[in-house]
Structure 1
Amino acid sequence: MQEAVLLIGHGSRDPEGNSQFEQFVEKVRERNRQTRIELCFLELADPSIGETIDRLAAEGVTHITTVPVILLAAGHVKVEIPHILDQARLRHPHLTIQYGRHLGLHEEVLTILEERLQEAEVSLQTYSEGDLQEDAKGASYDRSNATILLVGRGSSDQDANGDLYKLARILWERTGVANVEVCFIGVTWPDFPTGIKRAVRTGTSHVIVLPYFLFTGILMKRMEEMLAELATEVSHVQFTLAQYFGYHPKLIDIIHDRVQEVATGEAQMNCDLCKYRLEAVHHHHDHGTHDPHRDHHEATHHVHPTGRR
């Protein structure tokens, strides 16, 4: 049996964004040299999903694991990609095509966001320690008095938009910042200018714009331009734009996990970010074998009605 893993990128009108996805897939290959890894795009770039599957079938591949390298599940992940895969199955009835999960609410997504936050804070601290006039923008950086503006692409799918708000809440609890605001660069509301205004109204002296984007592209560059313009309108707040995910090694770890889920046939609940699951896994490594899902249910069923144990 000849197997392949097919990583599906969204595709961008910006060639630089597509190039970054291609370079990322090459880094995935470097970490998994024993596995054949191919790439394709859902739209706006070539090769397409269908074309790539047809080529792999013609080359004798008999089993394909597909993983959408997409952060949140909206219409692309829920409808369009499954439809394209169904069409490919009809064309190649002897080809096994399995569909893995998108990147989604994975623990390492939070790790990447936290590290991008820390990198942005280094520039803030350097700025604060520089030779500046004594004005509000020269105030020393203090995380407990900072606001994160988490920016997503935006979707017409309320479930996908809601997942970004869930990440924002967890990010607020984990980082100790004063506030985490959410906005979107397209499709839905609150839009980016509104997000900036809301962040400013929190009264903090520093706003860190944290893009929830994998790679650069038209929307990422539009955000950079808009922030540069909007920041000039506010004299008492310092803005810093953090880096998008890029080639972060934890992103490769997430891809590995999604492929392994398909290989093992593992049934998944919505518990990638569940603290009980994570604590159970850590306990398993430290103290021996047990069932983390059993611990999850025991933990959740033994919580006092007030929320306290």
Structure 2
Amino acid sequence: MSERVLLIGHGSRDDEGNRAFLAFARRVQAAYPKRRLETCFLELAEPDVPTGVAACAEAGASRVIALPLILLAASHVKLEIPELLDHARLRHPGLSIDYGRNVGMHERVLDLLVDQYQAAARGTGSPATPSGPGASTFGATAAARAEAAQTGAESTAIVLMGRGSSDPDANGDLYKMARMLWERTGVATVEVCFSGITGPRLPEGVRRAVQLGAARVVVVPYFLFTGVLLKRMARLLEDLQAQHLGVPMRMAGPLGEHPGLVDIVIDRVEEAAAGAAHMNCGFCTYRRHAVHAHGGGV
């Protein structure tokens, strides 16, 4: 069976973000010669998803593993991409299309967040040596507290910033990640904020951290690549720094800069190839609407 992996990026009005996605896809392909990759974008850039599927078919693929390179699962992952893939199945009846899970709640994403925070706290760039597989130690609060006392992390606040969604299930996942990040790092607090759509927003997250007595603030974006939103948030953080001169503030890099993301994506592809990709739909507002629309109960 001839297979292709279709890596689906969100797309951005900022071409730098689109180039970052394509560069990342090349890194995945270099590390994963087992399957050929095609790339496409959900919106704001070309090629789009139908064109990406068509490219796989034209290359002779009989099976496509479509993987959304998106962090939190909201309408894009739960509704829009599945609908596009359904239409593609009708246009390409001989093509098998399997849909993989989004990146967001993979267990190793926490490792990436920790590394990005630590790199920003040290004032350095992206980590040269990522945490290896199995490096996560969930619930290691006591050890984290001991290390924090030596490094000054116990007086640091992390502000974990997501995009924001109208789906409470997706927003709730960010709060879950924030709790695990607090346990892993031993910082004073991990505050959650969003860049848009819902609250609290970045100014509220930073001000809460300052009011709680943080000696420094590190904003950790739950974003994959740079783009319009992330650059806007960086400028906003500069304004917030001017309002709180006594509390140093830094913003970590997006997760796509971390070399460990490649392994996570490969893991998601392998999971989908084995037919083991399952979505968390129990609290999904879209699922509830769909069930009611078809006359069912929740």
TM-score normalised per structure 2: 0.83
What is the deviation of 1:268? 4.6
Task: State the alpha-carbon separation in 2 of the partners of residues 141 and 60 from structure 1.
Answer: 55
Task: State the alpha-carbon separation in 2 of the partners of residues 176 and 15 from structure 1.
Answer: 37
Residue in structure 2 matched with residue 235 of structure 1 by the alignment: 245
The one-character-per-residue Cα deviations of 1:40-70 (angstroms, maximum 9, x if unpaired) are 0000000001011122213321100011000
Residue in structure 2 matched with residue 2 of structure 1 by the alignment: 2
Q: Which moved more, 1:49-58 or 1:69-78?
A: 49-58
What is the deviation of 1:195? 1.2
Aligned partners of 2:101 and 2:278 also within 8 Å: no
What is the deviation of 1:249? 2.1
Structure 1 unaligned blocks of 5 or more = 125-139, 271-309
Task: State the alpha-carbon separation in 1 of the partners of residues 204 and 19 from structure 2.
Answer: 31
What is the deviation of 1:269? 7.9
Give the counterpart of 1:190 among 190, 195, 200.
200
Please list, as runs of the form range in 1=range in 2, the aligned pairs for 1:117-156 lying within 5 A after superposition.
Answer: 117-123=117-123, 142-156=152-166
Task: State the alpha-carbon separation in 2 of the partners of residues 263 and 61 from structure 1.
Answer: 14
Residue in structure 2 matched with residue 173 of structure 1 by the alignment: 183
Look up the equivalent residue of 1:63 and give its one-letter code: R
Residue in structure 2 matched with residue 53 of structure 1 by the alignment: 53
**Secondary structure of 2:256 counterpart:** coil
Please list, as runs of the form range in 1=range in 2, the aligned pairs for 1:207-286 lying within 5 A after superposition.
Answer: 207-266=217-276, 268=278
Residue in structure 2 matched with residue 62 of structure 1 by the alignment: 62
Task: State the alpha-carbon separation in 2 of the partners of residues 29 and 87 from structure 1.
Answer: 27
Task: State the alpha-carbon separation in 1 of the partners of residues 272 and 34 from structure 2.
Answer: 17
Task: State the alpha-carbon separation in 2 of the partners of residues 146 and 90 from structure 1.
Answer: 53
Look up the equivalent residue of 1:13 and give its one-letter code: R
Is the radius of gyration larger for structure 1 or structure 2? 1
**Secondary structure of 1:57 counterpart:** helix
**Secondary structure of 2:240 counterpart:** helix
Aligned partners of 1:146 and 1:204 also within 8 Å: yes
Task: State the alpha-carbon separation in 2 of the partners of residues 269 and 151 from structure 1.
Answer: 23
Aligned partners of 2:101 and 2:279 also within 8 Å: no
What is the deviation of 1:205? 0.7
**Secondary structure of 1:246 counterpart:** helix
Look up the equivalent residue of 2:243 and give its one-letter code: E
Identity %: 53
Greater RCO structure (CA 8 Å; 6+ sep): 2
What is the deviation of 1:2? 1.5
Aligned: 1:19 with 2:19: yes
Task: State the alpha-carbon separation in 2 of the partners of residues 267 and 97 from structure 1.
Answer: 13
RMSD: 1.6
TM-score normalised per structure 1: 0.80
**Secondary structure of 1:107 counterpart:** coil
Aligned partners of 1:141 and 1:206 also within 8 Å: no
**Secondary structure of 1:94 counterpart:** coil
Look up the equivalent residue of 2:2 and give its one-letter code: Q
**Secondary structure of 1:39 counterpart:** strand
Task: State the alpha-carbon separation in 2 of the partners of residues 220 and 231 from structure 1.
Answer: 16
What is the deviation of 1:235? 2.6
Structure 2 unaligned blocks of 5 or more = 125-149, 281-298
What is the deviation of 1:145? 1.0
Look up the equivalent residue of 1:179 and give its one-letter code: T
Aligned partners of 1:151 and 1:183 also within 8 Å: yes
